[in-house]
Structure 1
Amino acid sequence: MNFTNISWTHFLAAGATLAVLTFAINLIDIPQVEAKANPQIFDLEAHRGGRDARPENTLVSFAYALELGVTTLEMDMQLTKDDQIVISHNPIMNANLTKGPDGNYVKAGQYDIRKMTLKEIKQFDVGTMNPNAGDYYESHGKTQLSVPGTKIPTLEEVFELANSYGNDKIYFNLETKSYADPADPNHANNADPEKFVKKFYEIVKKYHMEDRVFLQSFDWRTLKIMHNIDPTITLVALSSEQPSWGYVDGCYLKIGDKNASPWLAGLNINDYHGDYVKAAKAIGADVVSPYWEELSPQLVSEAHELGMKVVPWTVNSPKSMNMLIDMGVDGIISDKPWILRDLLIKRDISVAEPTINSNSPYHIGTNIIDVETKKLSKGGDSAE
């Protein structure tokens, strides 16, 4: 999907204006509890495991990221018909990525994961991007290593993978893919937010990952529910101001609209003068995660003053990475984690050590992708 570039200087000016405004903000009274998951180094997050390197949101991509040396594995969750949490960005199987049991790519809109059992889902292959996928393939497929036979994993399998690598330092940034707006085409089969969060927390406790998970979402209802269940779980408020994106990836903040956005858990962004940082603080978020072009140095400083970290999505070009690091962000989510890692090292910023498990069935030498992607090291930014 192509997006119109928005100059970050526009947001710099807006942030400067915001900084001099004085207004009363009635924040929801949420007890301040220290979040458990709190990386002490720059948070290098592999978006969907690093989708420009390996099939996205799979054990293959997460193994790649572990062996590369990232701080956090970023991924998306869906709740199945039989109440299993699987890792998939799209609620309906992506025709650009998914082959059916017959070996052919599925048709768009054909299979809704939320209406399928885990056994049914495991019959599909997400290991090879469709070379006829147009812009999607041009943006992400040219550097992605095909791994035929790759299946959609469960959240439990992701935790077990990390344990099999002996990595007790890796963090997990896990998004509840929940569709709050009734006008959203994906809303019809949306999982009950409370049921979704409770199932997530059940698995987190089972694997004792409370101090290593972030729960992120555009649907801030799930963040409030999680806070009520366990206020020590780190919460990440995703946001987007991009109305042209439709309901594919964006969270409508509805700045200037009379009615509150259904995504913001009952908050009206206009009560915060359009300031998503203060709104995120009001629902108890520990991290604000906006689309990267919607950041300014002032907004980063504001978040830090409120005790929140800033980790923008999804940043793929070295120029943009350097600009955001200079702004003072605490981490970056990227489809190209190998580029971000190399940049951090060159800037003398600490990075996580690689974890190698040559006995893992998902181990594929990291040097393969390094060779393949040198020619595209100047790749651009993309959507979440």
Structure 2
Amino acid sequence: MSANEFTVIGHRGARGHAPENTLLAIDTAIRLGAPWVEFDVQLHDSGELLVFHDLTLDRTTNGQGFLASQSLGMLRALDAGQGQQIPTLIEVLDLVEQQVGVNIELKSAGGTGEAVASVIRSYLEAGWPPEKFLVSSFHLPELWEFKQYAPEIPIGALICGVPLDWAGCAVELGAATLNLSSEFVDPRLIADAHKHGIKVFVYTVNDPAEMRMLREMGVDGVFSDYPDRALAVTAG
């Protein structure tokens, strides 16, 4: 992420083109040219880190009920769309193979940060540079916990609103990015983040006109279900 770069991040892989948070979605984003991919991670009771967004299975799989109440074997047998499995964090990282940067969003608490840090540590030891990772979360205490175990990995504070102290939460965490809902983009928030050397990434942006507007406002990048659209805007 260079200083003047407008960063395009494939949201849940390339959710607009393939079933979200699957290996197919991640691979599609890479093939479309996205320099970064974002996906969600939850810690299952089995100790496995699963790439999945919702608390329940109904929306994106042929299963029902809460993810946390199902066995790992049952979860892995589900169809997550187009015959895709619910992948593990390790499977996604092995697919990526440093081709692109990865933004791992911590969706669950209760040790998720520590578990993700442990996995990332093994990839750092295998030669991945820390800057290939960005770990983010709405659950800021869990993000802080992750930072204690992997201080060299950049983190992103996820927010859905405009805090009273502007970018204060990201500053306090030592975050590299503030990941902000498109509904709450405020020039003063962008300015405050930039004053502290923090990049502002906006989610989830699929309209090219909105992408251009955000870029003109000084936003540093966008999460998009259609990374190809965002790449076309950056090339224009």
TM-score, normalising length from structure 2? 0.92
Q: How is 1:304-383 mapped onto 2 (pairs within 5 angstroms)?
A: 304-346=194-236
Matching residue of 1:119 = 73
Matching residue of 2:18 = 54
Is 1:85–2:39 an aligned residue pair? no
Is 1:97–2:60 an aligned residue pair? yes
Q: 1:156 is matched by which residue type in structure 2?
A: I
Match of 2:165 among 275, 294, 297: 275
SS at 1:320 equivalent: helix
Is 1:160–2:94 an aligned residue pair? yes
Whole-Å Cα distance in 2 between the matches of residues 87 and 279 of structure 1?
Answer: 26
SS at 2:167 equivalent: helix
Whole-Å Cα distance in 1 between the matches of residues 39 and 88 of structure 2?
Answer: 11
Whole-Å Cα distance in 1 between the matches of residues 202 and 165 of structure 2?
Answer: 16
Displacement of 1:78 in angstroms is 0.8
Match of 2:156 among 214, 232, 236: 236
Whole-Å Cα distance in 2 between the matches of residues 76 and 200 of structure 1?
Answer: 11
Whole-Å Cα distance in 1 between the matches of residues 169 and 94 of structure 2?
Answer: 35
Match of 2:28 among 45, 64, 73: 64
Matching residue of 2:107 = 177
Matching residue of 1:26 = none
Displacement of 1:169 in angstroms is 4.4
SS at 1:276 equivalent: coil
* Contact 1:47–1:335 (Cα < 8 Å) also in 2: yes
Q: Choose between structure 1 and 2: higher strand proportion.
A: 2
CA 1:175/1:97 → structure 2, altered by over 3 Å: closer, same or farther? same
Aligned-pair RMSD on alpha carbons? Answer: 1.7
Q: 1:57 is matched by which residue type in structure 2?
A: N
Displacement of 1:296 in angstroms is 2.5
Matching residue of 1:205 = 121
* Contact 1:50–1:65 (Cα < 8 Å) also in 2: yes
Q: 2:134 is matched by which residue type in structure 1?
A: F
Structure 2, unaligned stretches of length 5 or more? none
Deviations 1:312-349 (A, max 9, x none): 11111111111100011111001111111111111xxx
Deviations 1:181-212 (A, max 9, x none): xxxxxxxxxx41xx211110111112224331
Identity %: 31
* Contact 1:80–1:116 (Cα < 8 Å) also in 2: no
Q: 1:87 is matched by which residue type in structure 2?
A: V
CA 1:73/1:158 → structure 2, altered by over 3 Å: closer, same or farther? same
Whole-Å Cα distance in 2 between the matches of residues 39 and 215 of structure 1?
Answer: 18
Displacement of 1:290 in angstroms is 1.1
Aligned residues: 231
